[in-house]
Structure 1
Amino acid sequence: MMKKYDFETVVNRKNVGSYKWDQMYESYPELEDGIVPFSVADMELKIAPEIREGLKKYIDEMILGYTGPYTDYYDAVINWMKKKHNFDVKKEWISCSPGVVSAIYDCVKSYTEENDGVIVFTPMYYPFYNAIKVNNRKIIDCGLIENKGHYMIDFTKFEELAAEKDNKLVIWCSPHNPVGRVWTKKELEKVAEIALKHNLIIVSDEIHFDIIMDGYKHTVFQTLSEEVADITVTCTAPTKTFNLAGVGISNIIIKNEKLRKKFRKSQEKSSVHIFSPLPYKACELAYNDSEQWLSEMLELINNNQKTVNKFFEEKFDGLRAPLIEGTYLQWLDFRKLGLDNEKLKKFMNEKAKLFFSEGYTFGENGSGFERINLAIPVHILEEALERLYEAIKKEFPEFCK
C-alpha cells in the first residue's frame, strides 16, 4: 500500500532551540553534522500536514488573542476518547494544562501534604521524581520486577507500601515510560483493588496511550469501574501522539468533583493557564483530521523497534533490546558491558556518537540501560545501529557475534 506521509525527511534542529539538540551540541560543539539525538521524547518526524496546513489557515484568518477552550476543541477531545479508547468523558471533567508534567506537579500539591509519601513504580520518567522532591513529599519506591527485559509489578510490596498511612498518592504510568509495558486489564484491576482498599489517589499518566504496538490493548485506568474513576486523575495529551510537545496542551480528566476542584485550585495558585489559541487548535486538528498519519506513524515505530531488536539478537551477546508493547521508546540493556553510569554515557557519546536518555536518570534500577527514541527515520536508526556495533566491536569484541 502506498504511503501517504513523509517519515524519511530529517529536519535539522541545530541552533533553533531544540532541547535535545542543544544538549548534544553544548556537550560536543565540534560534533559533525548528520548526528541526530535519540534522547528527549519528541519525534524527529515532520508533523501531520493536516495539522500544519490547518494551523496556517487558522493564522491567516484569526486573531491570536487571549483564548480559552471552546466547543469544537472539547468535542474533538471527547470524540477521540470515545472512538479510540471507549472512554466516555464529559466536558466538565476536562481541565487544560500546558503539559502532563506540570499537571503532575499540581496533583502532588493538590492531594498530599508535606512529608506525605508518593508511591512510584521505578524505573520511572525522571521529572516525576522532581515533582515529589521540590514539594517536600517523600518518594516511595515500589520497584518493578525485571526478568530478561520483561517488567512486572511487585504487588506484595505495593500492598505493604499502600498500607502505610502516610502514603497518600500513586503516580501511575500507563503505558510505562521507560520500560514500554502496556499493562493488562488484570494488572490494572489489581492495582485498583489495592488503591481502593487503602484510600489512595491515583494520578495516571496516560500520555502515550495512543501509541500501542500490534497485539496489545490499552485500558484507560479510570474506565475499570465507577469506584476507580472516583479516585483517579487521568493525564492525557495529543502531544506525544502527534509530535506537538512544543505547543503545550494536555487534557487532564477528573470525574470526581472534589478532586477536580482541588486540582484547579492548585492551578490557580501557580497561575497555570493556557491563553494561546494555537494549542487548542492543534489538538482539535490532530484529533479530528490526523488519524491516518497516526496509523502510518505506528507502523514506523513497530518496524523500528523490530529492527533494533533483530539487530541486537544478530550482532550482540548479552546485550538486549526487548520488544516494547507501547510508547515510542525502547529500553536497551547494556549492563553486561560492566560500565558505570558516566563511563557508559561517555562511551555512547564519544565512541559511538550516540545520544540516548541515560538509564540511571530514571532511577537506580535504570543503571546500565539506555532509552532510545524510535520516532525517527529508518535510515537514521540504521546508521546509528551500525555506529553502535562498530564501537562495541572495537572496545568490547567479546560481546559481538
Structure 2
Amino acid sequence: MGNFDLNIDRKNTKSVKWDMAETLFGSTDVIPMWVADMDFKAPKEVNEALMERARHGIYGYTLADDELKDTVVRWNKERHQWNIQPEWLSFSNGVVTSLHMAIQAFTKPEDGILIQTPVYPPFYNVIKAHNRTIVKNPLVFEDNYYTIDFTDFEAKLKDVKAFILCSPHNPVGRVWKKEELEEMAKLCVKHDVLIISDEIHGDLTYPGFRHIPIASLSEDIANQTITCMAPSKTFNVPGLAASYCVTPNLDVRGKLDEAFNKQGFNNQLNTMGQIAMQAAYTHGATWVDELTALLESHYQYVKESFEKHAPELKVVKTEGTYLLWIDCSGLGFDAKGIREFFINEAKVGLNAGIDYGEEGSQFMRLNMGCPRSTLEEAVNRIIKAVEKRR
C-alpha cells in the first residue's frame, strides 16, 4: 500500500521540518531529521478522501458525527483491544492542546505535576505555562535500556495532583509492559493522582510489541484517566490538526469539556482533519503494519551501522515510534558540543537531547521517518564525521 521508498521534495511547502532547517541549523546542506513528522505520503485512501471533499468545494462547520465516533471506537478495539464508548470521546485540534486543557481543568497554580524524564519538551512547557510545579521521576538508564524507578515514583506521587504519562515513551522508545502500566496505575489510584496519558505514538509499535492503553487495564484506572490520542503521527497528518481524548469518567469528562468550551473549543474538528481521521482509521490498518515493519528495519540498520562503524554512538533499545534516542557520551562532548558536532561536522539536524531534560544532555533524537536512501545518507554522514574525530 505505502510507497515508503519515494523521495518527495518537501522544500517550499511551508514545512516546519524542511523550510525551517536553515534558520535552525544555520546551513542549507543539513539533512533535517528533527521535528516529529515523516517524509512519507499519507495513505492513498486518506488523500483520495481529502481530494473528494475538496471537489465538493464548501467548507462549512463540520459535525463530528456518530460515524466518526464509531470509527474511532472500532480502531481502538481492533488495534488495541480497548472497548471504548462513543460518548467517552472529546475532540481537540491536538494532543498538546488537550494537555493544556486537562492541566487547567484539574490542577491549580503551584500544584505538582509528575513527568518521567527525559521526556517530550511540551510536557515541561504545559506545566510551566500554567504556573504548576514540575516533579520528575527520572527513568533509570541501564544496559542501554530505560525502566521505571517505582520507589521514587510512589514517593513523588504523594506531592502531585496529576501524572502525565508518555506511552509509548518519546524520546526513549519504550513500549511499556502490562506489569509496568499496572504498577503505575495502581499507585496513581492509591494516591488519587489523575493520569493524563499521551498515547499519540500508540499505533507505532514494532513487531513483537503491543501498545496497551493504560485506561484499558481496569474500570478503576479508566475512571482516573484521560487518554489523549490522534492519527497524526501514525498516518503523517499532524498539519490537519485532529485528535481526541477518551475519558470514561462522566464527571472528569464534563470538567474537561468545560475547559475546552471556556477556550472556545466546541468539540468539533476542522473539516479536513475529520475527513483524514475517518479515512485513516477506516482504511489504514495494512499501511500501518507495513510502516511499523519498515521502521523496525530502519532502527536495526542505524543500530548495526553505528555498532560497526561508529561505536562512540549507541542507539538506545527501541520498541516503537519513528524516533531514535542516541547515546552520544562516547564522543566526549558537552551538550552544546554534541549538537554542534552533528550540525557542523555531520551535517545532520537532530533534536538536542538536553531539550528533553538534563537527563538527556548526552543524547540526540533522530527522526527516521524517511525513505531508506535519506536515512543511509544521514547515517553515512554521521559515521564519516565520527571517523574524522578519531
Relative to the length of structure 1, the TM-score reads 0.94
Aligned to 1:44: 39
Q: Write the distance in 2 (CA, Å) between the matches of 1:236 and 1:308.
A: 28
Aligned to 1:288: 282
- Conserved? CA contact 1:332–1:370, under 8 Å: yes
Moved more, 249-258 or 53-62: 53-62
Q: Write the distance in 2 (CA, Å) between the matches of 1:323 and 1:199.
A: 33
Aligned to 2:174: 181
Aligned to 1:342: 336
CA-to-aligned-CA distance 1:269-303 (integer Å, 9 cap, x gap): 21134452111110000010122211211121011
Q: Write the distance in 1 (CA, Å) between the matches of 2:311 and 2:8.
A: 34
Q: Write the distance in 1 (CA, Å) between the matches of 2:370 and 2:105.
A: 37
- Specify the SS of the correspondent of 1:146: strand
Aligned to 2:142: 147
The equivalences for 1:102-141 within 5 A come to: 102-141=97-136
Q: Write the distance in 2 (CA, Å) between the matches of 1:29 and 1:181.
A: 32
Q: Write the distance in 1 (CA, Å) between the matches of 2:292 and 2:283.
A: 16
Moved more, 278-287 or 54-63: 54-63
Q: 2:373 aligns with which of 359, 373, 379?
A: 379
- Conserved? CA contact 1:305–1:323, under 8 Å: no
- Specify the SS of the correspondent of 1:388: helix
The equivalences for 1:1-400 within 5 A come to: 4-28=1-25, 30-32=27-29, 35-61=30-56, 63-164=58-159, 167-273=160-266, 274-395=268-389, 397=390
Letter in 2 for 1:38: M
CA-to-aligned-CA distance 1:241-265 (integer Å, 9 cap, x gap): 1001000011100000111111111
- Specify the SS of the correspondent of 1:331: strand
Letter in 2 for 1:95: S
- Specify the SS of the correspondent of 2:11: coil
Letter in 2 for 1:10: N
Q: Write the distance in 2 (CA, Å) between the matches of 1:199 and 1:390.
A: 52
Q: What is the percent sequence identity of the aligned residues?
A: 37
Q: Write the distance in 1 (CA, Å) between the matches of 2:296 and 2:43.
A: 18
**Residue 5 of structure 1: how far off its partner (Å):** 2.5
**Residue 121 of structure 1: how far off its partner (Å):** 0.2
Letter in 2 for 1:39: W
**Residue 27 of structure 1: how far off its partner (Å):** 3.8
Q: Write the distance in 2 (CA, Å) between the matches of 1:365 and 1:237.
A: 28
- Specify the SS of the correspondent of 2:348: coil
- Conserved? CA contact 2:310–2:387, under 8 Å: no
Distance 1:30 1:179, change over 3 A: closer
Q: Write the distance in 1 (CA, Å) between the matches of 2:151 and 2:31.
A: 42
- Specify the SS of the correspondent of 2:161: strand
Distance 1:254 1:28, change over 3 A: closer
Letter in 2 for 1:323: K
Moved more, 319-328 or 226-235: 319-328
**Residue 28 of structure 1: how far off its partner (Å):** 5.0
- Specify the SS of the correspondent of 2:71: helix
Letter in 1 for 2:221: V
**Residue 148 of structure 1: how far off its partner (Å):** 2.6
- Specify the SS of the correspondent of 2:228: strand
**Residue 76 of structure 1: how far off its partner (Å):** 1.0
Q: Write the distance in 2 (CA, Å) between the matches of 1:209 and 1:202.
A: 16
Q: Which runs of 5+ in 1 are unaligned?
A: none
Q: Write the distance in 1 (CA, Å) between the matches of 2:126 and 2:265.
A: 15
- Conserved? CA contact 1:211–1:327, under 8 Å: yes
Q: Which runs of 5+ in 2 are unaligned?
A: none
Moved more, 267-276 or 115-124: 267-276
- Conserved? CA contact 1:306–1:323, under 8 Å: no
Q: Write the distance in 1 (CA, Å) between the matches of 2:208 and 2:143.
A: 20
Letter in 1 for 2:46: I
- Conserved? CA contact 2:166–2:197, under 8 Å: yes
**Residue 30 of structure 1: how far off its partner (Å):** 5.0
- Conserved? CA contact 2:227–2:247, under 8 Å: yes
Q: Write the distance in 2 (CA, Å) between the matches of 1:36 and 1:326.
A: 23
Moved more, 376-385 or 68-77: 68-77
- Specify the SS of the correspondent of 2:124: helix
CA-to-aligned-CA distance 1:66-96 (integer Å, 9 cap, x gap): 1130122111101101111111111111000
Distance 1:275 1:304, change over 3 A: closer
Letter in 2 for 1:337: L
Letter in 1 for 2:373: H
